[in-house]
Structure 1
Amino acid sequence: MKGGPGPRIDIQALRALAVSLVVVYHFWPHRLTGGYVGVDVFFVISGFLITSHLLDHAPSSLRDLGEFWGRRIRRLLPAGLSVIAVTLTATWWIAPATLWDGTARQAVASAVYVQNWFLAREAVDYLAADNAATPVQHYWSLSVEEQFYLLWPVLLLAVGVVARRRGISVRRVAGVAVALLVAGSLLCSVLITDASAYFVTQTRVWELGLGGLVAVAAPRLSLLPAVVRLALVWSGLGLVTYASVEFDHATVFPGAAALVPVVGAALVIAADVRRGPLSPLWLMARRPLQVLGDLSYSIYLWHWPLVVLLPYALDGPVPGVVKLLGLCAVVLAAWATKTYVEDPLRGRRPLGLPLRRSFVFALTGALVIGSCGFALHRESEAQARQVAAPSPTEDPCYAAAALSQGSCDPHGSGDLYLPPLAAVDDKSRLFENGCVLQMDDTSRRTCTFGSDAPDATPVALVGNSHAAMWAPALELVAREHNWQVTAYLMYECYTVDRPIELPDQAATKACADWNTHVVDRVAGGRERLVVVSNRYYRTMAAAHGDRGASLELAHKASRRVLKRWVAADKRVLVIEDPPTPPTPNTPNCVAANPRDLGACDGSLKQTASPDPMAAVARTSPLDGVEVLDTTTDFCRDGRCYATIGGVVAYYDRSHVTATYVKSLTGRLDAATTAALGN
């Protein structure tokens, strides 16, 4: 088969390895912690194959570009759009309604291959960080590839023009152009360290480009002696294997770490290994591996919807035996997709139709998926407007009262006054109004709410997003007492006087500067009362990731801040951070367990969150500082609840819904009054 018309044996085997890594990682993430590098291996393979094709069939006109893109559409879109359509239907049928809207939006983004940018935007949205994965989320990598396929032939067309004008080799010019692009993209991959870096094209295109460099160098690589080829292929396989076993979720990725699997895949392709005593080609040529490689695209498409939807179908964790059966189903679906969807549409005149019809198909397919996605979105909106019971006014066990009244079932009387789909968007308006600064924001913007009267008493609300979530209740208290509240809020930036280690240097500095400004501003301001609340999540910078040392530093820093405000004659109320439910996303959990709300609850030990400022204020009391203990507002008898008195208490993993916060207005009123009274 070497040198024949068929695909290279080693590349087919590499495809099989790549898809196996990804699938095993997604089904058993704790068994193969770095299996996600299979996607990077795919990128290198795609870059090599496409660049090889373009060098052998160099585009010289717009017609050539159109033919190339038409072939790509016929090769990739029929299967891709078919799986999206089936997945949308399965999501509507199987998944809870809380997953519908996100899936609908991402399905449309996937159909037009901008899913990676959609996820990049959500990745930097702190309030979207706990959103459950949708069954089409894996299309982000296909979006990166499609964007590469769109731009790469244009680059090679420009390379051909330059080469012809200067009378030099196309490969030489291509080598320089690709090398520069790879270097620039790799630099972006190392320098961009925020949550979006995993998805954006500029941090990934170097991986495809490195495969392209191997294609450019192929004539020279073909002269390598057998012993060098063996060294390259085994080194490459070793690097990919090392990354898949040793990398995990804590590995900064892509960044420099991605060099390990990417260079490994490039070495395997560059080796173009021949048969021999020490060659792995005998194993690569095994029929199961070659078939797996041939089905790899369809397997990738089908496996992730099953991973996401199977737990909803079973109403709980998926047993190992069922996962194995699921894998068989994925392979069967992939075979059917390749046989009846992919293969009939290959070639220059697939199904007897001219290649230009490909663009009509692409547009039609995107419109169909868009229509289906919009229908699912509208259905999600309709269900969000539905409330299970008309009014909670006469229910003595409504919301927070369910825990304060010992005779009530903590979950409520049975009716859900705030169902999970409505809970998703039930949050403080401070989030919508941009009153909570992003981590790298240097604007020092604040917002005010409460009373607008000229003689209103100034009050400060200080902290991160977990302070903002208390605003619906604080606003009611403020209007009652003629207070005007100024909000000093920044995502993840809890209130200390030393730097916090945030995702990148810009955010770390912006947070440190913000905290310095806020502590000084409040100390020197007119506010009589300071209400402060924070989620302690990131570690202190000086602790270098040591959570124990960080907590100790945070205690000391919190005490210094409180002493500074007390010395400035401020009265301080520290609202202790509520327990965090054990589920990744509370509305999704409640929606998936409508008849067993207890499935989303947890013990106090499971859900308790460290709160350095509240701990300091409680264990080392300062005159003028009060603590509002929120444990009893979410827990009873050692059990903490996700749904309380018919209200879903959290709109993601840790932020409390505005409806539930409002039910604690009396508690907050009493606590602020006590703080001022002291």
Structure 2
Amino acid sequence: MPDRVVSPPPVPISLLERPSGHRSRVRPPERLRLAHRPALDGLRAVAVVVVLLYHGGISWLPGGWLGVDAFFVLSGYLITTLLLAEHERTGRIRLGAFWARRVRRLLPALLTVVATVLGGARWLVPPEELEALGPDALAALGYVANWRMLNRGDGYAVLTAAPSPLQHTWSLALEEQFYLLWPLLVVATLALRSARTLLIGTLAAAAASAGAMALLYVPDAEPARAYYGSDTRAFGLLVGCALALVLSARRYRPGHAVQRRWSPVTLAAVGTLGAALLLLDDAGPTLYRGGLVVVVLAVAAVISHAERHPDGLTARALSVSPLPRIGRASYELYLWHWPVFLALDHQRTGLDGPMLLVARCAVTIVLAELTFHLISQPVRGGRWPRRGRLRPALTTLSAVSCVAAAAVLLTTPPTPRPATPEGPVAAMPSTVRSALLTRPGRGPGPLRITVFGDSVAHSLAVGLPPLTGARLTNRALIGCGIARSGPVRNAARIQEPYERCPQWDTHWADGVRADRPDLAVVVLARWEVLDRKLHGRWQHIGQPEYDAYLRSELARMVRVLTADGARVVLATAPYNHRYERRDGSLYPEDDPARMDAWNRMLEDTARADPERVRIVDLAARLCPDGRYTRDVDGVRVRSDGLHLTAGGVRDYLAPWLVPQLVGAAR
């Protein structure tokens, strides 16, 4: 984000055009100087406030995320103005000094936030997702977080993980890439050509960037490439750069009378921004195929009016207290708000709605103010570390190195405790009397149990200790249920089924032929209750067409698993609390009513075929109070709101489940 808001005084001159030969009619050119503009601080305040409200779950502000694009336009405008002013004043641009100022302004607060997130990582991030946080932190420090968030990997754990506490640093990365490359282009163009050439090239690049966003957007798919790409989002910064070039060439002297009316262009821009905030969410072709361009141009129009008329209505409105004060610390507010909002969720605080938002904002403001006054301002003003050629560089290198080392050391997942038999917990009866063991074609040997299902089934299978008197095999398909249509909505993100999921029945049939199990234990606890596209329409459990589809898939599942004479053991699905909406409420797939409907289907399936299908009430065991429960009887049984912990399976579930399996085999 840019330095303290500064802008040129309104005096007539042209950088893009040479003065005409009628010198008597042209004012002598005045140097491009910089003066503080509270209005632009106020614009930054509005931008950061709407971002906080959006991430806080204010439902009537679906376009609050557009505050980030306001920052982009403002950054392009201010940085270009700074560079042009220095070039006009000295005939050159000292790149080293420019980049040093950027480091002093941006890096101290970023290091503080990243170090704090890493320090609280084991409390803030589920163990299964801890490993991804290290690369997130390194990407934030290297200012490539936008590309990191675009491609955090293709494994199930990454693709279905909760948002990273450092996800918001993608926008800072985009700005820092701009700070690195744009001055080089300005220096080269002004040395070889002219400011007019720079303007034309800037407009062409902005148009190409907007075109790339439109081309790379794919309807009904996750728009990450169009949203995070440096190339697809650069037009916001470039429009700000173009505005600086135009205004620096046409410096306006304000009239003596205060402008009492907004111009039609300004009114249209303000109306466009208001409509975008109230109507434009972060999905859909309208946004990516021109909508965001219109928003960026509207922001540029507001900046232009505030600059050309510093005593006008726009500037005065944006200068109303406390907006300029908030704007000066907007960088720190933005840095802190996302990890604070993730940490203070409904599950940890018991709050939701407006009260949760108030608590989150209060903590964010306190942390931002402390960082601004105790860290950012002293470093930026040169009060710490003391000035010198070597000390600041060594201090910066040491701080970055320490945080980078923490990113590696603090995000290494703890070594799981090895599963060991614990007496009767892991013991099957020496002889299990069951017709399953003596069915035709079945060879001699202990009871054979195979686990089928999704990632929750996998977490159950890997957590069970070795069973004395039985053989356990894990055939769970991580990321797959038995519903094979797609795409699905997972925490409002559109996700295509994994390649192997539509062929789940083939994979399970292969497992039955290989293992020849006596008991086929099935755990399906997620994918069937998501919103899913079926026959071209988004549907979910509880709707007749979709319910009929699920029942047919369950019937197919029973046929596949009992083909060799095995008995199916269906486990009811516990309530989940995987993600929260921004206001602390649950996403539809975690609605207990959906899981109740799914469990009724499982129970109906068992009642319809009692000889081949049995039911075990895993839901009641994991949710004894009839609601999602993370800890039961002092044992952590759920790790991330969905999956089972190894300790919970070993110490809490296994002593209960083994007798259940013995009973199902009889």
Q: TM-score if structure 1 supplies the norm length?
A: 0.67
Match of 2:399 in 1: 365
Report if the CA contact (8 A) 1:618-1:627 is conserved.
yes
Q: Secondary structure at the match of 1:532?
A: strand
Cα distance in 2 for residues equivalent to 1:376 and 1:521: 41
State the match for 1:494 in structure 2.
481
Give 2:530's aligned residue: 538
Out of 144, 150, 155, the residue aligned to residue 174 of structure 2 is 144
How many Å apart are 1:649 and its aligned residue? 0.4
SS at match of 1:636: coil
Match of 2:503 in 1: 514
- Identity value in percent: 24
Match in the other structure for 1:231: 264
**How far apart are the structure 1 equivalents of 2:625 and 2:325?**
57
**Residue type matched to 1:518 in 2?**
H
1:252-291 pair list within 5 angstroms:
255=288, 258-259=292-293, 261-271=295-305, 274-275=308-309, 279-291=313-325
Measured at CA, do residues 2 and 132 of structure 1 come closer, stay the same or move farther in structure 2, by a change above 3 Å?
same
* Equivalent residues in 2 for 1:235-384, closer than 5 Å: 235-246=268-279, 255=288, 258-259=292-293, 261-271=295-305, 274-275=308-309, 279-304=313-338, 307=341, 317=351, 326=363, 329=366, 332-333=369-370, 336-337=373-374, 340-341=377-378, 343-345=380-382, 353=388, 359-370=393-404
Query: How many Å separate the matches in 2 of 1:213 and 1:454?
Result: 80
Structure 2 counterpart of 1:573, from 568, 592, 596: 568
Amino acid at match of 1:169: T
The answer (yes or no) to whether the contact 2:448–2:471 under 8 Å persists in 1 is no
1:473–1:664 Cα contact (<8 Å) kept: no
CA RMSD of aligned residues (A): 5.5
1:463 is the counterpart of 2:445: no
* Mapped contact 2:578–2:642 kept (Cα < 8 A): no
- Tell me the secondary structure at the aligned position of residue 264 of structure 2: helix
Select 1:655's aligned residue among 621, 643, 649. 643
Residue by residue over 1:304-336, the C-alpha shift from the partner in whole angstroms, topping out at 9 and shown as x without a partner, is 565566789x96546777667546635743652
Deviation at 1:561, TM superposition (A): 1.9
Residues 84 and 136, structure 1, Cα contact 8 Å, conserved in 2 = yes
Q: Distance in 2 between matches of 1:31 and 1:132?
A: 24
- For normalisation by structure 2, the TM-score amounts to 0.69
Q: Is the 8 A contact 2:261 2:313 kept in 1?
A: no
Corresponding letter in the other structure for 1:468? H
- In the aligned structure 1, how far is the partner of 2:609 from the partner of 2:83? 72
CA contact (8 A) 1:44 1:211 kept: yes
Q: Against the structure 1 CA distance between its residues 29 and 614, is the aligned structure 2 distance closer, same or farther, given a 3 Å change threshold?
A: same
Q: For residue 655 of structure 1, report the CA deviation from its aligned partner.
A: 0.6
CA radius of gyration, larger in: 2
Specify the SS of the correspondent of 1:627.
strand
Alpha-carbon spacing, 1:501–1:332, altered in 2? closer, same or farther (3 Å): closer
Q: 1 CA distance for matches of 2:638 and 2:286?
A: 30
1:35 is matched with 64
In structure 2, do the counterparts of structure 1 residues 183 and 324 end up closer, same or farther at CA, with 3 Å as the change threshold?
closer
Instruction: Describe the shift of the 1:644–1:377 C-alpha distance in structure 2 as closer, same or farther (beyond 3 A).
Output: same
Residue 562 of structure 1 corresponds to which residue in structure 2? Answer: 557
Alignment correspondent of 1:419? none
From 71, 86, 101, give the equivalent of 1:71.
101
Question: What's the offset of the Cα at 1:75?
Answer: 2.6
SS in 2 for 1:280: helix
The SS at the match of 1:470 is: helix
- How far 1:552 sits from its partner (Å)? 1.6
- 1:444 maps to none
Sort the Cα spacing of 1:463 and 1:532 in 2 relative to 1 into closer, same or farther, 3 A. same
In the alignment, what sits opposite 1:447? none
CA separation in 2, counterparts of 1:185 and 1:614? 45
Q: Can you list the C-alpha shifts for 1:204-259, whole angstroms capped at 9, x where unaligned?
A: 44443443454456579989xx9998334333333333343445688899855655
Query: Do the aligned partners of residues 35 and 144 (structure 1) sit closer, same or farther apart at CA in structure 2, a change above 3 Å counting?
Result: same
Cα offset, 1:16, TM superposition: 1.5
Query: 1:169 aligns to what SS in structure 2?
Result: helix
The secondary structure found in structure 2 opposite 1:541 is strand
Code of the aligned partner of 2:618:
T
Q: 1:6 to 1:646 in 2, by over 3 A?
A: same
Letter in 2 for 1:336: H
